[in-house]
Structure 1
Amino acid sequence: MLAAASLLLPAGFNSPALGQAQERIVAVGGVITEVIYALGLQDRIAGVDSTSLFPADALRDRPNIGYVRAVSAEGVLSLKPSLILAIEGAGPPDAMSLLSESGVKLVRIADETSAEGVASKIEAIGSAVAAAEPARRLAAQVRQRFDELATLRGRIPAKRRVLFVLSLQNGRVMVGGRNSTADAIIGHAGGINVASGIEGYKPMTDEAILAAAPDVILMMRNGGAPTVTPDDLFAMPSFAQTPASTNKRLVQMDGLYLLGFGPRTPLAARDLMAAIYPESAIPPLKTATAP
């Protein structure tokens, strides 16, 4: 499922020695870290946040500044960065204000989820780290993959209804509604988000889930272990009477791969499409192996 990082490198890109040799970058957002690695500039990274799970060695080899929405300004500045790249929504606001006033260059990156938005995000990160041309080539590859994905999406005869479940805690089912990253990836994969009547990530009642009649339940899997087994999920009253329960249609995918909205997103959307429509034999993206 996961694409090799080498497949994401822009054509003709061989040298990591772009930009300022002594630049120290703190990446606040997993997608920012992923793009910097894809550009071959990982040696510039002085610190990452806890969502920087791809590549795996990013969080293992770099200082961890904490969760993207709960970073410590003092912790970031202790790494003596020359550049801070922060994804939209990074926080808390007080910490971001302190970083903005610190005198260290702070660049905020819009966290778009559309095909063009993902490509523009890559270009914005590349521009910030003085690698505009390699980033442009990487963004062009991503655009090609989204175009191929759109062609596959157009061949789907009948769209299935998908419910993204963020968490199951204390009997409360937290789902992804409209304008959420879950809603965006379901759309890219050719599904219908049955929670579109909800804004963002919010609880959904058992009655509402039953009325929504999802054909597929989608969840994140962090690490190797599944979040929940199909038997356990469809034994719950919330899901037992849904169409998804008939064939125990539960799809679980790596969280950053599924919702990161970076260079791998077209590949993740294709994999999700293949899981939603297994009978359609969705082919791999031909552009996935392009140099």
Structure 2
Amino acid sequence: MTMRKEPQSKRLRAMAFSVAAIISSFAAAPDVLAADKLDTSRLVSVGGDVTEIIYALGEQGRLIARDTTSMYPEAATKLPDVGYMRALSPEGILAMNPTAIIAIEGSGPPEALNVLKSASVPFETVPNAYTREGILAKIDRVGDLLAQPDKAKALEDRVGADLDAAIADAAKRPESERKRILFILSMQGGKIMASGTGTAADGIIKLSGSVNAVGNFPGYKPLTDEAIVEAKPDVILMMNRGDGSGTTNEDLLKQPALALTPAAQKKAIIRMDGLHLLGFGPRTASAVRELNAAIYGS
């Protein structure tokens, strides 16, 4: 006896029903709640700066998982990893059975966020701006979501005072002595991907009282050889990836256009921990001081 094949439309309807059933299993959770009603007893944190703030507030006991960028403090690395903040896996997050997710602005992709929201897991976003005020706004937002406004205010006061002192020290340097910094995100296929304006790299360079050598375009973009020579950077700044996968100093200095710059001729290459340098969290004042010491020797 031959078996009749099930029509494709029927199979698709059955598949859609199965997906809906999975999502509905989470639907018992309430819709996104006001901050003072948000259940953060089982919290997933997305964004290294968000995770740092949660620890700085002393509220890490709520955390059940974090994203790949959450590498500080070291205790955070012991938590389950739900993936890179811009390439989240909704299945992995939902498997943790969270009561809420707190994520830095720009997390994604949008499709993953849609699945999470369909599952009625509260997904709260923390604004991101690469300034002193932006850091304090993050702390305020996280404190509000955790219903810890007093702790957040105390942390804001400490962090704000520390930032003010670090920025004031950097600002004492005369403009004529300020170095031109070229932040290189990567070098693939011989092309240098550098930071323009509106980026974390641009923000930390400005806080340190230095000058972004290519601050005439927004975001990150590959530079032409002409643009590299015209930028005349005094210093090259990069993230220290720590896994040996990044471009070596020797490779940088072999790049023909870069070799013509003052930075390459003086071998002035600075590498710093990426989260510390670009995280714009509670430790940013420390990053400003470390960067200044590396650039200017004091």
Please tell me the TM-score bracket, short chain as reference: 0.7 to 0.9
Give the conservation status (yes or no) of the 8 Å contact 1:49–1:68. yes
Post-superposition CA distance 1:239-272 (Å, at most 9, x none): 1110112321000000000001100011101111
Highest Rg: 1 or 2?
2
Q: Secondary structure at the match of 2:254?
A: coil
Q: What is the percent sequence identity of the aligned residues?
A: 43
Pair 269,234 (structure 1): closer, same or farther in 2 beyond 3 Å: same
Q: Which segments of 5 or more consecutive residues in structure 1 lack a partner in the other structure? A: 1-18, 282-291
Q: Report if the CA contact (8 A) 2:39-2:100 is conserved.
A: no
Q: Does 1:220 align with 2:266?
A: no
SS, match of residue 47 in structure 1: strand
Q: 1:252 aligns with which of 255, 268, 271?
A: 271
Match of 1:126 in 2: 143
Asked if 1:83 corresponds to 2:100, the answer is yes
Structure 2 residue 220 is the aligned partner of structure 1 residue 201: yes
Which of structures 1 and 2 has the larger relative contact order (alpha carbons within 8 angstroms, sep 6+)?
1
d(CA) in 1 for partners of 2:189 and 2:242?
A: 23
Residue 9 (structure 2) aligns with: none
Asked if residue 241 in structure 1 is aligned to residue 260 in structure 2, the reply is: yes
User: Relative to 1, partners in 2 of residues 1:104 and 1:169: Cα closer, same or farther, differing over 3 Å?
Assistant: same
Which of 141, 144, 150 is the matching residue for 2:167?
Answer: 150
Offset at residue 226 of structure 1 (A): 8.9
Report how far residue 230 of structure 1 moved: 3.4
Aligned residue in 2 for 1:94: 111
Q: Give the conservation status (yes or no) of the 8 Å contact 1:174–1:201.
A: yes
Residues 188/26 of structure 1: CA separation in 2 closer, same or farther (3 Å cut):
same
After TM superposition, give the deviation of residue 228 of structure 1 in Å: 4.2
Q: How far apart in 1 are the matches of 2:290 and 2:58?
A: 25
Report the counterpart of residue 51 of structure 2 in structure 1: 33
Aligned equivalent of 1:107: 124
1:121-140 Cα deviation digits (max 9, x unpaired) = 01111111122211111111
Q: Please tell me the residue identity of whatever aligns with 1:96.
A: L
Task: Quote how far apart the aligned CAs of 1:229 are.
Answer: 4.2
Give the secondary structure class of the aligned counterpart of 1:252.
Answer: strand
CA separation of 1:140/1:241 partners in 2, compared to 1, >3 Å: closer, same or farther?
Answer: same
- Among 113, 117, 136, which residue is 2:134 paired with? 117
Q: What does residue 287 of structure 1 align with? A: none
RMSD: 1.8
Corresponding residue number in structure 2 for 1:167? 186
8 Å CA contact 2:187, 2:247 repeated in 1? no
Q: Which amino acid aligns with 2:212?
A: N
Judged with a 3 Å threshold, the aligned counterparts in structure 2 of structure 1 residues 240 and 62 are, in CA distance, closer, same or farther, namely same
Letter in 2 for 1:30: G
Q: Deviations over 1:73-104 (max 9, x none)?
A: 12111111111101100000011122223222
Q: CA deviation at 1:233?
A: 2.0
C-alpha deviation, 1:72, in angstroms: 1.4
In structure 2, the CA distance between the partners of 1:34 and 1:164, relative to structure 1 (3 Å rule), is same
2: distance between equivalents of 1:127 and 1:98? 25
Q: What TM-score results when the alignment is normalised by the length of structure 1?
A: 0.85
Letter in 2 for 1:75: G
Q: In 2, Cα distance between the equivalents of 1:225 and 1:168? A: 14
Could you say if the C-alpha distance between residues 226 and 72 of structure 1 is closer, same or farther in structure 2, counting changes exceeding 3 Å?
closer
2:88 to 71, 74, 94: 71
Corresponding position of 1:16: none
Letter in 2 for 1:41: E
Residue in 1 aligned with 2:11? none
- C-alpha contact 1:166 1:176 (8 A) present in aligned 2: yes
Distance 2:115 2:204 in 1: 34
User: Structure 1 residues 209-218 or 139-148, which shifts more?
Assistant: 139-148
